[in-house]
Amino acid sequence: MEAENQQLKEYSNYLDKNEDELRHFKHDYENLLNSLKISAEKGDSKSVVKQLAKYTNSQFDEKALRKYKGVNHIHVEELKSIAITKLAKLYNEKIPYSFGCEVEIYDIPKIVNIFDLVRIIGVAFDNAIEESQNLIKRTGDNNSAKVDAMYYQEDGNFEFKIRNRISKGTTLSPNVLSQEGYCY
């Protein structure tokens, strides 16, 4: 519970920081456009391109911008919390990942126990993270691993998907995967 609270606090701080950075960016962007306009009016297109490239490289950390991408669409606190916790773990472990949630999720079907769902999602994420860590250890290359996850809801039904890369030559069958305590 302590770790989840810490992750939620980190996410809240992340949003606050991004709001401040967005305001700062808007101010800088207006100044940059004025500077570029003057250079363009003088016909100095090389200078315009160079200034724009320099600014872009200094202001954008693409990975950090994607850290919690899509989480803002999740309005079920338990689902949001597990996503934040596991995405932070992937980010901190430097495991390449993507997360998608493009639709607003306000509730789950009444027949679904939220705590069971969170447990299942958590285990699926943990398994993907563990296999990714093992794959990175075997190959020595962080880019050999990748975890893709998504939440989706349509017509009141909730779906999630978590995929990860596995070592070449590994074959997995439902019978093997469903065995209690299975570990590759």
What pLDDT was estimated at residue 157? 93
**28-58 residue pLDDT tens:** 666 666 676 776 777 766 776 676 666 665 5
158: region left, alpha or beta (phi > 0 left; psi from -120 to 50 alpha): beta
Going by DSSP bridges, is the β-strand pair 157-164/147-154 parallel, antiparallel, or unpaired? antiparallel
What pLDDT was estimated at residue 181? 60
pLDDT tens track, the chain, 184 positions: 676 667 666 766 666 555 555 556 566 666 666 676 776 777 766 776 676 666 665 555 555 556 778 888 999 988 988 898 888 889 889 999 999 999 999 999 999 999 999 999 999 999 999 999 999 999 999 899 999 999 999 998 999 999 999 877 666 666 665 666 655 4
CA 162, 167, 171, 176: dihedral to nearest 10 degrees? -60
What pLDDT was estimated at residue 85? 84
Q: Tell me 105's DSSP state.
A: B
In angstroms, what CA-CA distances link 159 with 103, 148, 182? Answer: 11, 14, 24
7: Cβ contacts below 8 Å, ≥ 6 apart:
81, 84, 85, 88
**115-128 residue pLDDT tens:** 999 999 999 999 99
What pLDDT was estimated at residue 46? 72
In CATH terms, the superfamily for domain 65-177 is Histidine kinase-like ATPase, C-terminal domain (3.30.565.10)
Cα angle at 47 between 46 and 48, to 5 degrees?
Answer: 90
Taking residue 91's Cβ as centre, other Cβ atoms within 10 Å add up to 16
